[in-house]
Structure 1
Amino acid sequence: MVFEELLDQAGGLGRSQILQMVYLLAGIVLLYPHILLENFTAAIPGHRCWVHILDNDTVSANDRGTLSPEALLRISIPQDSNLRPEKCRRFLHPQWQLLHLNGTFPNMSEPDTEPCVDGWVYDQSTFPSTIVTEWDLVCESQPLKPVAQFLFMAGSLVGGLIYGWLSDRFGRKFVLRCCFLQLAVSGTCAALAPNFLLYCSLRLLSGFAVTAVLSNTFILISEWTVPRFQALVVSLIFSAYSLGQILLGAVAFGFQDWRTLQLTLSIPSFAFFVLSSNWIMQQVFNIAVASHKCLLLFLLLKFVRSIMQKELAAAQIRTSVFDVLQKPKLRARIFYLSFIRLSILLNYFGLALNLQHLGSNIFLFQVLFGTASLTARYVALLTLNYVGRRLSQILFMFTMGLSIIVTIFVPQEMQALCVSLAVLGVSACAATTTSSSIHQNELIPTVFRATAAGINLMAGWFGAALAPLLMTLMVYSSQLPWIIYGMTPILASFIVLLLPETRNRPLPDTIEDVENE
């Protein structure tokens, strides 16, 4: 292509491209934590019912007698099967007979209990405040927590469709600036939200902006990079995702109040909005100043002429989605790739959004997940070159699903083993994402590659939106969501067998190339 030739003549990967790449990658690192933010802002601390005799500040020591807080808790809150205080029930009346540990009460009936009608008492040792403690999203209201996560993911799905069209219509720079501003405003306002409904609405708007920034950043970096550096650039983009995970764990450890954390991660988007005002328009000028070559003007004119010729050709030959749906092989490939991407992100966000199910030190888990996924992405590149596209994906996806299935049968006391299996699953998921992205580009013809990538992206975000919603099934069975998370990538690994191997094979340029294979 002439524009690639123009970039190559200007130095390939010069100073201006590097500066632009650093700016966009920094934006990804600071933006990606918003996707996993509710691991910390919506953490569920230990809690129990509020009881008058123990938690009322107006009750004097004389009223309580000489009883310790543990004794008062025992007569006020029933115990669960693990001999721990119930989280959602309390005795209707104090059960004084429970203080006689050595006594026997053969005819004693089951004491009457009631819900936490006066609210809850929360353990604030790790999280001083979360949206859960702010709006009491526990017990009967606990399903509202994954609904809030679902709305953010749903916003990402819809935002990808809307802003994708707007980017093609008005340009990526304009949409990118608007999305940075939208994320900054909605994220900042979410930190000040007075009620849960408004918070969910603002998180929905944040989800709209996140997908558009990620997709436009990926395209902008790719368009301003010559082909010989494309593999390096894709690896750097995926690495920025992992660095964003690590950053989130570190910042959340420093700012454990949910409003402060939300505000800290939202304000930098204002700076990126301001910095994005003129940087794209200056890129061609910077390249011209840096190259000092008279050939540049000739190549630029040649590039404009080439673009005009391609637009005329595109006006005569257009490939629509409906045309593709009539081609059996290409239609099957798009369906298979979409299901694979859905299963990958369903599994990934099933783990990444539910760190509390692994243990209490979720700050460390977040950093471990980011570090493991960063390493796994480069391992995937090596595996693809030596093992092949299909076998690599099958191994990674099977490992990803199996690690979650095995975790179900590991006792909670073996926390180190549970965390190790989860880290293995996240690493396999990161490797699968890299492998699948490369395989997809090699399976779809050039004339339909961008549209197919959009369909694949929407399928992935549908899986991401479904992941938090599946946690509401814990009302029926605590293991059911994890079984679905684990089985989906295992089933998808068999779908990979239906796709052809593409290692060391030429890429298809037209739909006929796919249909004639």
Structure 2
Amino acid sequence: MAQSIYMAGVLVGALVLGGLSDRFGRKAMLMWSYLQLGVMGTCTAFAPNYASYCVFRFAGGADQEGPSTVGTPRVSRVPVSLAVVEWIPTPYRAITVAITGFAYTLGQIILAGVAYAVPHWRWLQLSVSLPFFVFLLYSWMLKSNMKEELAALKSSYTVSDLVRTPVIRHIFFCLSIVWFSISFSYYGLAMDLQNFGVSIYLIQVIFGAVDFPAKVVVTVSLSYVGRRLSLMAALFLAGLVIVANIFVPTELQTVRTALAVIGKGCLSASFNCVFLYTTELYPTPIRQTGLGFGSTMARVGGIVAPLVKMMDEYYPFLPPAVYGVAPVVAAVAAAFLPETLNAPLPDTIEEVENRSKRTPTGDPKEKIALQPQDGPPLKEA
């Protein structure tokens, strides 16, 4: 119940913080999230009863959607949208996402060691909460180059802009399926950790370590093959190995564990892809709102996954089949998204709509002309 309440908090945070970040700025929401994570995490460690524990967990879950340090294999949302998309030049976005993702992977591995060394839940909760006060001080030094742009956009755009125009609406629905499916299948795998016949601490390390090769491969693929094909391949392979595990006898624990680890690695790669892809597909005014709603769908997937798991009492093969089919469906949805490799970052909704009407000529000079130039964007009179 406490975990469900926590996930509900994460869902609320995804709905709220994305829009607030577009309205009040990335830095402000990032700092607020770090402060609340530290405060609520510390309060959780000293909760006097179960009811207050659940309240603090809910609040902590909502605040975690700021830096997005929830238990899914993905990199920080606000820093990615701010630094990778709005600060980093186009050719270096994929590698920057990967580096940020490696930091998250390292955190997963360290968590297993900390949990083993600090077995009491109160001290463990406190150990993972106090560092957020340090992050708060560090984030204070971040610079923001979007104050003027954000000030101009405060009253101009709303959540309805995600479905108001045909191209943005198409992108929104396809990405919603992708975000839901990745999180849904990931939590389906995560709930079976105890059934692999391996120490829970060891399997946590293994599940974290597989991210390194997975993210290296997907980084190369994102830079040379493209965002769309990379996402489709990672999703399809994840679904394939999850379904394949249905036909592996339960006594072959090593094979089952290996397939689950491969599936988890593919889902981690998918998260890297969809994060970068989402921020490149949406224009600046609604970028964070779109990313927030993608995260919302991921949270819905995380909430629904345990309900599907309950069906294994009647049909043991059904949950893994559903967990495996979901990424395949998402791969099909991703096929209908436009490619963004080497494309300039869209600044307006109209620009996204107009891009879909253009027919590429294949002229290298035109591609070069479309590349963003160094320095601040030019403002129209």
TM-score range with shorter-chain normalisation?
0.7 to 0.9
Distance 1:354 1:244, change over 3 A: farther
Alignment of structure 1 residues 272-421 onto 2, 5 Å: 272-273=135-136, 275-276=137-138, 278-280=140-142, 318-323=156-161, 325-421=163-259
- Counting aligned pairs with the same residue, the percent is 39
Give the distance between the partners of 1:347 and 1:384, measured in 2 at CA: 22
What amino acid is the match of 1:254?
A: A
Which of 116, 124, 134 is the aligned partner of 1:253?
116
Give the distance between the partners of 2:167 and 2:27, measured in 1 at CA: 36
Give the distance between the partners of 1:405 and 1:496, measured in 2 at CA: 20
- The corresponding residue for 1:239 is 102
Deviations 1:93-143 (A, max 9, x none): xxxxxxxxxxxxxxxxxxxxxxxxxxxxxxxxxxxxxxxxxxxxxxxxxxx
Give the distance between the partners of 2:202 and 2:151, measured in 1 at CA: 56
Give the distance between the partners of 1:511 and 1:388, measured in 2 at CA: 18
Which of 4, 8, 12 is the aligned partner of 1:158?
12
Matching of residue 436 in structure 1 with residue 274 in structure 2 = yes
Distance 1:381 1:243, change over 3 A: same
Matching of residue 201 in structure 1 with residue 55 in structure 2 = yes
Contact 1:149 1:468 in 2 (8 A): no
Distance 1:340 1:170, change over 3 A: closer
Distance 1:380 1:327, change over 3 A: same
Which of 247, 250, 265 is the aligned partner of 2:128?
265
Contact 2:85 2:93 in 1 (8 A): no
Query: How far has the Cα of 1:413 moved from its partner?
Result: 1.7
Contact 2:94 2:219 in 1 (8 A): no
User: Unaligned stretches of 5+ in structure 1?
Assistant: 1-146, 285-302
Give the distance between the partners of 1:311 and 1:178, measured in 2 at CA: 18
Higher relative contact order (CA 8 A, sep 6+): 2
Distance 1:161 1:323, change over 3 A: closer
Aligned length: 346
- The corresponding residue for 2:330 is 492
Matching of residue 513 in structure 1 with residue 367 in structure 2 = no
Give the distance between the partners of 1:165 and 1:503, measured in 2 at CA: 26
Give the TM-score taking structure 1 as reference length.
Answer: 0.59
- The corresponding residue for 1:138 is none
Query: How far has the Cα of 1:246 moved from its partner?
Result: 0.8
- Secondary structure at the aligned position of 1:499 is classed as coil
Contact 2:37 2:63 in 1 (8 A): yes
Matching of residue 186 in structure 1 with residue 40 in structure 2 = yes
Query: How far has the Cα of 1:490 moved from its partner?
Result: 1.3
Deviations 1:128-173 (A, max 9, x none): xxxxxxxxxxxxxxxxxxx332221221120233334444555544
Query: How far has the Cα of 1:174 moved from its partner?
Result: 4.5
Deviations 1:311-339 (A, max 9, x none): 797589x4544455343233112100111
Give the distance between the partners of 1:180 and 1:457, measured in 2 at CA: 18
What amino acid is the match of 2:6?
A: F
User: Unaligned stretches of 5+ in structure 2?
Assistant: 69-76, 359-381
Give the TM-score taking structure 2 as reference length.
Answer: 0.78
Contact 1:447 1:511 in 2 (8 A): no
- Secondary structure at the aligned position of 1:411 is classed as coil
- The corresponding residue for 1:129 is none
Deviations 1:372-413 (A, max 9, x none): 112211210212334333332222111111222222332222
Matching of residue 212 in structure 1 with residue 74 in structure 2 = no
